[in-house]
Amino acid sequence: MAEGVETPPSTQQALAPEQALADIVATMPGVSAVRIDKGEVVALAGRDGVVATLTALRDDPRCAFAQLMDLCGVDWPERPERFDVVYNLLSVALNQRVRVIVATDESTPVPSVHTVFPCATWWEREAWDLFGIVFAGQPDLRRILTDYGFDGHPMRKDFPLTGYVEVRYDEDQKAVVYAPVQLTQDWRSFDFLSPWEGVTTLPGDEKVHAERGTPTTTTKPAEAPKG
């Protein structure tokens, strides 16, 4: 159990909704710390007890977080446990939200919560596809946004922005083929001069220059064709 979040000195005043919720969340199983970040309650939970944590948040009538709105990953490459798995929960009945964060590394799996929230299957597949986060007990851990033969996890911060391979349709083979990324570009001379900068005087500007006493060269308008 996490220690209660600090409350205002005066116990005579009613707690703010976020503070009251934070105090309740701090008593949930598996929660190690709770904070209020930009008006939203954020709970840090242990990896092995995340199923019990989310179950309690769903079933406790003081929380009633019946909906898992999102599950996503965050990559912190400089940390030993480089990934955060973030669960965003919503209580429609009580009109409140909570964010649960679980840390893990590249090889240690996080227990799947699809038995608590069936919609988690989609989000866990996405986190596996984009970050390589493994979810133990997930029966359908397949790629969902990238191709089945995709190499690597594109949302990791050490993954190159260009990727490793490119996909194209080969007219000779009449099939989709994979090839190493080639981003070659010939040297070119770029002219960044705006077309408006080429015309220094427009028809009618001679009146302004005449009043200011500055010489001007008026651009003659194109003559209409005769005949």
Give the DSSP H or E segment for 68.
strand 67-75
Give the residue carrying structure tokens 């597949």: 125
Total domains in the fold of the chain: 1
Per-residue pLDDT of 63-84, as tens digits, reads 999 999 999 999 999 999 999 9
Q: Which CATH number belongs to the domain containing residue 96 in this structure? A: 3.30.460.80
Is 158 inside a domain boundary? Answer: yes
Is 91 inside a domain boundary? Answer: yes
Question: What does the block give as tokens for 166?
Answer: 């490119």
Per-residue pLDDT of 10-25, as tens digits, reads 443 567 899 999 999 9
Is 134 inside a domain boundary? Answer: yes
Is 219 inside a domain boundary? Answer: no
Per-residue pLDDT of 155-210, as tens digits, reads 999 888 877 888 888 898 889 888 888 766 556 665 666 666 656 666 777 776 67
Residue 36, SS3 per DSSP: strand
Is 123 inside a domain boundary? Answer: yes
* Side-chain-facing half-sphere of 190: CA atoms under 13 Å: 3
Is 51 inside a domain boundary? Answer: yes
pLDDT of residue 94: 95
Is 222 inside a domain boundary? Answer: no
Per-residue pLDDT of 83-141, as tens digits, reads 999 999 999 999 999 999 999 999 999 999 999 999 999 999 999 999 999 999 999 99
Please, which residues have CB within 8 angstroms of residue 207's CB and are 6 or more apart in sequence? none
Is 200 inside a domain boundary? Answer: no
- The phi and psi torsions of 65 (rounded to 5 degrees) equal -80, 85
Q: Which domain holds residue 132?
A: 17-163
Res. 62 pLDDT band, cuts 50 70 90: very high
